[in-house]
Copies of this chain bind each other. A is one copy, B any other.
Amino acid sequence: MNELTDWKELAAQLRVDSIRSSSAAGSGHPTSSMSAADLLAVLASKYLRYDFDEPGDPRNDHLIFSKGHASPLLYAFYRAAGAISDDEMLSFRKAGSPIEGHPTPVLPWVDVATGSLGQGLPIAVGVALAGKRLDRLPYRIWCLCGDSEMAEGSMWEAFEAAAHNGLDNLTVIVDVNRLGQTGETMHGWDLSAYAARIGAFGWHVIEIDGHDLGAIDSAYAEALAAEGHPTAILARTEKGRGVASVADRNGFHGKPMADPEAAIAELGGARNISLAVAVPTGDRRAHTFPVGPLVLPTYALGTKEATRKAYGDALVALGTARGDVVALDGEVGNSTFSELFATAHPDRFFQSYIAEQQMVANAIGLQVRGWRPFAATFAAFLSRAYDFVRMAAISRADIVLAGSHAGVSIGEDGPSQMALEDLASLRAVFGSTVLYPCDPNQTAALLPLIADRHGIVYLRTTREKLPVIYAPGETFEIGGSRVVRQTDADQVTLVGAGITLHESLAAAAALAEEGIAARVIDCYSVKPIDAETLRAAARDTRAIITVEDHWPEGGLGDAVLEVFAADALRPPIVKLAVRSMPGSATPAEQLALAGIDAAHIAAAARDALKEYTQ
């Protein structure tokens, strides 16, 4: 059979090129690439539909290497497909080359960065959801996984979510090469162990010899025919297949060949096979949702509302105005108020259950196809998906994460439910935007802005109802702030955000009665921060008090300190933050116990003015 011969030759080329690129680089993972070469050769030759000239074609299939360290195989495929030249392939891992150690979307054909194991499949589920429920196009998602990463819990969140959503457009190929980085995996070549697990999760499972080209072909055909559920192809393979000195031997993970020339010769030498990957056909129009005008919710001055509620209200309005806006939640939609979106726009709501990694992965997958995801849960539980957020930044993903119930001010539920490290962890994500509104109109006004913002946007919301201090229709900007109290003779500056802005205002009122004029700045944009307004306050006043419902490290106070880092002269900055482990208490008690309520702020201001008399 000619097909089989062609595939065999192509697979040999993919192996050889995996060796060539990693040897040129002096590092990389050739053996992890070689195990999957046959699987990819057949997929690319016969099943994948992809137009390399038009990576943005909505009909394109998606090929996601969950085992990102098999990048030499991916790049070898790109070379065979004519997407990159041989020289480009051989620039693997060199400074400035887009042929990076692990795949990233610096290359137009790569959807998402992989390399932290257990993330490609969850994100593939997100792309598959986009195909089924949003785009409504018949593209397929092919995800190549390693066997080591099957130990990651995120994989099982993904298996569960994919089956629950009936994602028959998703095919997972598990390259069971038995060997992890340091030794044998838990299950070695026991395909039945994987089959039992994945089958129990509701998938169609096919077990094959991953080097039997005919069996591989049949498995893909079977996957294409499966309806109503995703398919997993469990392929028994040899790590380093084709080169006897390394094949199925431990100790060669992530190592180039000791003798690449001999290895290449053993594989029959270098080849120059050109692979014409089939391009997708059919209607290229993705489904769109009807849109209306943007009518943001409004809240009357002097009333009270929680910013989490404003998030929910405004997200509904945004969803009406923009058909690309979609919402996700981690089964706490009545707390985050995502439930309002679920009711208003059910076709664009994704219930992710208590599986925060999968929720964020879904968001990343949906934005691969151009949708604008807003994913919400308790801010504390976003920490569960921190590695996914870190990688999302490397993926150049545009996603919004909305964390509710921030800080000690949630009250009685206690520390497990309090986000007190979220500002720190999410500020430390590359290119991120971190917003912390204090007012429902402000929250609503920010939502259209963040829907257009690139990168990871984090919106921190508060559980408690807060006084409305901004009139409906006031405008805000990312990177801005608001001076909410100011006189000609301000002595001290209070910098708050979210709930601490209101405490700062109350403190300023108390100080005013004592004849101390305090400027109050609402620093709702924590990153980027409004340096200009803070500098003006530094010129005008004798001390700055920052107040945050957060641990002292990495939050609002540190963002303010950063502004003045290179300034030799600036007023002293006193950071008020949560410095002891909270327990249960009412919100007001919590703020007092943490030393971040109005009374403590006023006291800190008094002390600072006493201490730092100029």
Contact = CB atoms under 8 A, between A and B. Distances in A.
Given A181-B334, A387-B384, A152 B151 contact: no
Contacts of A356: 152, 387
Contacts of A380: 116, 387, 390
A201 interface: yes
Interface in A120-170: 148-149, 151-157, 160, 164
Interface stretch (A214-222, A417-425, A464-472): A417-425
Given A181-B332, A186-B164, A415-B394, A95 B355 contact: no
Interface string A61-99: 000000010000000000000000000000011111111
Contacts of A261: none
Contacts of A113: 415-416
Interface string A577-614: 00001011110010001000000000000001000100
B390 A383 contact: yes
* Overall SS of chain A's interface: loop
Kindly report how many copies of this chain are found in the complex they form together. Answer: 2
B148 A152 contact: no
Given A101-B413, A181-B334, A412-B27, A568 B558 contact: no
A353 B183 CA distance: 10
B384 A335 contact: no
Given A200-B200, A355-B151, A421-B425, A416 B118 contact: no
Nearest to A559: B553
A554 B553 contact: yes
Interface string A544-556: 0000000111110
Interface stretch (A265-273, A426-434, A443-451, A507-515): A426-434
Contacts of A93: 412, 414, 584
Given A383-B386, A383-B390, A415-B113, A353 B185 contact: yes
Contact of A417 (B101, B197, B553): B101
Contact of A571 (B99, B353, B568, B593): B568
Given A113-B416, A148-B353, A384-B387, 14 more contacts: A93-B414, A106-B583, A115-B413, A148-B354, A153-B355, A153-B358, A160-B186, A182-B333, A421-B429, A558-B562, A566-B573, A566-B608, A568-B572, A568-B612
Q: When A and B form their complex, which 3 residue pairs have the shortest distance between CB atoms, in order from nearest?
A: A153-B153, A115-B416, A554-B554
